[in-house]
C-alpha cells in the first residue's frame, strides 16, 4: 500500500515539474544519483543542487555543487583547499565503501 502512495506522489511531482516547464529525465532501473553523475560528466558546465554530501565526489573544474540547506556553493578548488586535499580521489577514498572482489562463498 505504501508503494502505491509513493508512486502517486511521484506522478504528481512530474505533473508539477511539467506544468512549470522544468525538464526531467527518468530511466527505468537507473537511480537518480547515477543519472546525475553521468550528466555531470558530459556537460560543459554543471551545477548540481543538492545537500547530499555523497555528491561532493562529482566536483570538477566544470561542475559545482550548490548546497541550499547550508547556503553554500562548492567548487573543486575551494573544497580541496578547505579540506587540505590534493584531489577529489582523497574524498572518495575517505568516504566510500571499499569493494571486495572475493566471492562470498570462497574458501
User: 78 phi and psi, to 5 degrees?
Assistant: -65, -40
Give the per-residue pLDDT at 105.
Answer: 46
DSSP-based three-state secondary structure for 59: coil
pTM of the model: 0.66
Per-10-residue mean pLDDT of the chain, 107 residues long, equals 83 94 88 88 92 89 94 94 89 68 47
Give the per-residue pLDDT at 88.
Answer: 85
Strand partners, 46: 63
Pair 45, 62: CB distance under 8 Å: yes
Give the per-residue pLDDT at 107.
Answer: 45
C-alpha cell at 47: 551545477
Pair 6, 16: CB distance under 8 Å: no
Amino acid at each position: 500500500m505504501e508503494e502505491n502512495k509513493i508512486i502517486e506522489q511521484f506522478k504528481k511531482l512530474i505533473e508539477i515539474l511539467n506544468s512549470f516547464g522544468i525538464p526531467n529525465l527518468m530511466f527505468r532501473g537507473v537511480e537518480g544519483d547515477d543519472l546525475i553523475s553521468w550528466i555531470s560528466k558530459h556537460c560543459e558546465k554543471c551545477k548540481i543542487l543538492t545537500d547530499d554530501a555523497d555528491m561532493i565526489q562529482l566536483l570538477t573544474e566544470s561542475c559545482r555543487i550548490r548546497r541550499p540547506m547550508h547556503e553554500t556553493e562548492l567548487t573543486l578548488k575551494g573544497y580541496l583547499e578547505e579540506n587540505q586535499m590534493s584531489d577529489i580521489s582523497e574524498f572518495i577514498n575517505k568516504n566510500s565503501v571499499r569493494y571486495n572482489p572475493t566471492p562470498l562463498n570462497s574458501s
